[in-house]
A and B are shown apart, each in its own frame.
Chain A
Amino acid sequence: MERSTGMNRRKFNTALATTGALAALSPFGIVRAQGAKLKVGVLLPRSGYLGFIGQSCQKGADLAPGVIKTLLGVDIELMNADTESNIDTARTRAERLIQEGAHVLVGAFDSGQSTAIAQVAEQRGVPYVVNIAAAPQITEQGYKFVFRNFPTAPDLVRNGLNNIGALFQATNVVPRSAVFMYVNDTFGLAMSKGINAFLPRLTNLPFKITESVPYDPAAKDLTVEVSKAKAANADFLLLVCRLQDSIILRREMVKQRWNPMGVISPGSPGMYEEQFAKVLGKYAEYCISNAPWYNPKTNMTKIVDAAFKKQNPGEKFVFHATNVAYTYESILIAADAYKRARSTDARALADAIRQTNITDRVALGGPIKFNAKGQVEGNLSACVQNLGGTPKVVLPADAAEAKPVFPWPGYKA
């Protein structure tokens, strides 16, 4: 507030009272207090079949206002909405949030729901930052208000395969064959296509895929699939999975006494999650996943980690790494843009987001910078391995917390 010589107590009190009266009228968005809070609409699937993941992402959103206030001095007000893992609800909730005065939208984990929200955001001219969704089409529509800070499916494939090459170099192992098991969903399909496209061209990957075994994401029993994969007699298992089936698969591997060099995921959820470690105990050890992750060495990661511990006592940041890191960053992007734009006007915010260049961040990768399509290009996957009960970053070396172990102990050629 400017200091003016003509101000006295009476004028000040009148001004205060007037502002108070105006603020009282503002629930209906009639008057918005200038430059006070940035309203961020958070759309996540907190119930329904994605409920588990949505709630995990929500943790990243919940800690954001506190951290951002300290770091940037920006006031964030979260407006949380549950998409219920349903595209119809996602769309109407997005409209509702905009109606209620959200300046920016973030969310929504699922590609289908994010696409629906993107259309609403573009239609209404409200900036939308996608936290997690891998379908490349979301940023291929020529939208002016939709931004995504997450690797696309082709990015994930490429990063994952590169990491695997680096892994073999770091551990000095040359496996010659792999059996590729993948869940028949978006990730699995993208991986399968990507592997067919990239693998022949990547010279630092010495192995061949001897057998491909796709499986149904809804299958509760994977005996046949594991039997088939085991019979391929490959050196290691290349696996694209989800949480529930990764547990079933690993269990089945133990029951069928299948002991390859190791299990590596080029890019999918599952093996690094808490449930996996809790349920499988020692059998979860040494499983390797490549996934977008936080960079354990950056300053902001440490701050977010501390905030997470405070807000979620008894839980570990590492088990919500991807969800929390990227959801937090989506709100960070909004706040950073707001700080530079100095206004909550949608167009100004969108333009400011387009100019984003955040170098001190949580997620692993280059700076947060959007290309012409609204996509961040430098996000990387970390190679994480379950060691001592928690996933630890083993690659890239400059972000590593431990050294990779491959093949896993107990492997007999």
Chain B
Amino acid sequence: MSAQRRAAALLALLAAALLALPLVANAYLLSVATLILFFAFSGQAWNVMMGFAGQLSLGHSLYVGLGAYAAAGLFFHFGIGPWAGIWLAIAVCVAAGAAIGFLAFRFGISGVYFALLTIAFAEFTRIGFDHIGWLGGPGGLFIKVEQRQAADLLNLRGPPVMFYYVMLALAAGAFALCAWLLRSRAGYYWQAIRENEEAAQALGINTFRWKMLAVVISAAMTSFSGVFFAFYYNNLFPETIFHISRSIEIILGPIIGGIGTLFGPILGAAVLTILADSITDLLAAVGLEFPGVKQVFYGVVLLLVVMFLPHGIWPALARRLGLDRKS
């Protein structure tokens, strides 16, 4: 079986498993699975900017927060449902991403400076939202939880199973979109820019435009995460949703899984979430349940992966599964 056939078969298997999961999993596993898909999706969105266009964003919580507040604000104040609210969320995030991208690329900011710029914007926004009384300020924005039994897809009110499938659809959509992007002209231009921007420019590629596209697509995709978060948890605080730790959470998956790959973010999200839970269980079983122990183990695992698997887990795994093409 050729590598491509094998990949397609495994993909189909994975899809089937994910679709059938709620039938066999208990509520706890379902909540963990939803979380994995959430980070898989967010990581995939971030990956567009980093893995495809090579721009390190450490302030992606900005888009999560903006998307969340846009949709939640509309719902809270005007009763406008998330399917309409998502358009405002996308618009706001695209504007923010475009602003950051424009400022950065026009002024030639890249690398770690770009990363710091993204952090600055996220922090600026965090403190800013703490002062917006209309959206709850530091006291938080709470969406009324109407009902949780019937799946009201229009207003995203319903049982956890509904949220699982929504997240699965989003993750699958992101995967498909990224696969298509990679194979499209954008994908090739991005690769060129990533490898050697000056050479790409010399070839006549309008690097500014393509980098902007990556940033804007990434921002728009991430806005979906925000909207989902708002309606899944039904409460938002600037302090937590714009926080840098959330930005770091988003990027852990793709970096561990494999930047620039399609499966990296998904694999990374799965590995990290399961790892975190497993360590907690392991420590509980051994009786070492002191605060901080779990995070130390978690940090050590991260350290080891970064040191010994610099391209992430997926490339090594793909090779093992015989999925990479011999080009």
Contact = CB atoms under 8 A, between A and B. Distances in A.
Direct contact between the two chains A and B in their complex (CB within 8 A): yes
A15 B110 CA distance: 75
B252 to A, nearest CB: 13
A135 B140 contact: yes
A188 B138 contact: yes
B100 interface: no
SS class, residues of chain A in contact with chain B: helix
Given A91-B31, A98-B27, A141-B144, A112 B235 contact: yes
Given A92-B35, A99-B26, A216-B127, A186 B148 contact: no
B160 A123 contact: yes
Interface string B266-299: 0000000000010010000000010110110000
Contacts of B137: 184, 189
Nearest to A58: B291
B291 A184 contact: no
B295 A47 contact: yes
A82 B291 contact: yes
Interface in A112-127: 112, 115-116, 119-120, 122-124
Contact of B145 (A112, A141, A216): A141
Contacts of A186: 138-140
Given A92-B35, A186-B139, A47 B292 contact: yes
Nearest to A214: B131
**Which of A55, A122, A186, A190 has the largest number of chain B CB atoms within 10 A?**
A186
Interface residues of A, number: 38
Contact of B138 (A116, A122, A140, A185): A185
A119 B295 contact: no
Contacts of A252: none
B139 A135 contact: yes
A69 interface: no
A302 interface: no
Interface string B23-49: 000111011100100000000000000
Interface string B183-195: 0000000000000
A62 interface: no
11 contacts: A55-B291, A80-B289, A82-B280, A92-B32, A95-B32, A111-B235, A112-B235, A123-B27, A135-B142, A184-B130, A217-B239
A46 B291 contact: yes
Nearest to B235: A115
Interface in B168-195: none
A116 B143 CA distance: 12
Contacts of B69: none
Given A115-B233, A123-B159, A141-B145, A184 B31 contact: no
Contacts of A99: 26-28
A19 B235 CA distance: 46
B142 A96 contact: no
- Which residue, A54, A84, A96, A111, has most C-beta atoms of chain B within 10 A? A96
A98 B142 CA distance: 25
B240 A111 contact: no
Contacts of A92: 28, 31-32, 35, 277
A119 B233 CA distance: 8
Contacts of B142: 115, 135, 137
A47 B35 CA distance: 20
A135 B240 CA distance: 16
A51 interface: yes
Nearest to A51: B291
Contact of B148 (A82, A87, A122, A190): A122
Interface of A: 46-47, 51, 54-55, 80, 82, 84, 87-88, 91-92, 95-96, 98-99, 111-112, 115-116, 119-120, 122-124, 135, 137, 140-141, 153, 184-186, 188-190, 216-217
B140 A95 contact: no
A31 B172 CA distance: 40
B314 interface: no
A119 B291 contact: no
A84 B283 CA distance: 15
B237 interface: yes
B155 interface: no
A120 B232 CA distance: 11
Nearest to B136: A189
A348 to B, nearest CB: 21
B234 A119 contact: yes
Contacts of B127: 216
Nearest to B145: A141
A92 B280 CA distance: 12
Given A96-B28, A124-B27, A189 B138 contact: yes
A213 to B, nearest CB: 14
Nearest to B291: A47
Interface string B159-170: 110000000000
A95 B27 contact: yes
Given A88-B35, A99-B26, A112 B291 contact: no
B148 A119 contact: yes
A95 B233 contact: no
B140 A111 contact: yes
B31 A95 contact: yes
What are the 9 tightest A-B residue pairs by CB atom distance, in nearest-first order? A95-B28, A137-B142, A47-B291, A99-B28, A95-B31, A46-B291, A115-B235, A189-B139, A185-B138
B26 to A, nearest CB: 5
B120 to A, nearest CB: 15
Given A88-B35, A92-B32, A124-B27, A112 B140 contact: yes
Nearest to A123: B148
A51 to B, nearest CB: 6
Given A123-B159, A190-B139, A116 B148 contact: no
Nearest to A118: B145
Nearest to B32: A92
A341 to B, nearest CB: 24
Contacts of B140: 111-112, 135, 186
Contacts of A55: 291
Interface in B218-232: none
Contacts of B233: 87, 91, 112, 115-116, 119
Contacts of A112: 140, 233, 235, 237, 240
A108 to B, nearest CB: 13
Contacts of A47: 291-292, 294-295
Interface in B5-64: 26-28, 30-32, 35
B149 to A, nearest CB: 9
A208 B160 CA distance: 50
Interface string B117-129: 0000000000100
Contacts of B145: 119, 122, 141
A51 B294 CA distance: 14
